[in-house]
Amino acid sequence: MCLIAGGIGRHLKPKLMTMINSGKHRGRDSFGVWTDEGVLKSEDFSQITETPGGSIGLLQCRLAMAGSKSFTQPFFNNFVLVHNGEIYNHAQIREFLERKGVEFESDVDTEV
């Protein structure tokens, strides 16, 4: 089970760092933080102090169930997304979408 958390408010960095420290046992493979001031993704929890500041943030401590560890969430483009759980039929969905011309950046089930 992963940790998903977020916050809105001033001086968010220390709160995000506390969330990561408090929940890293729920997702030991990696952590990722997106804020309106930056992004940090790492498999090394000693980098928590590099968490970006900001006034809005979303994070995940990931326990990798499907896909490689190198694609730590949050995913972001037009939206910021974190996901907890496993999409069991993600291979079939991916194959269907690839036949329709969709291209993927990772092998992680969340991306489908």
Type of residue numbered 111: E
How many residues are present in the chain?
Answer: 112
- 1, 2, 76, 104: which is the annotated catalytic residue? 2
Q: Are 33 and 80 in contact (CB under 8 A)?
A: no
2 is catalytic: yes
Burial of 3: CB neighbours in 10 Å, binned 0-12, 13-18, 19+: buried
Q: Are 106 and 71 in contact (CB under 8 A)?
A: yes
Q: Are 43 and 69 in contact (CB under 8 A)?
A: yes
Residues taking part in catalysis: 2
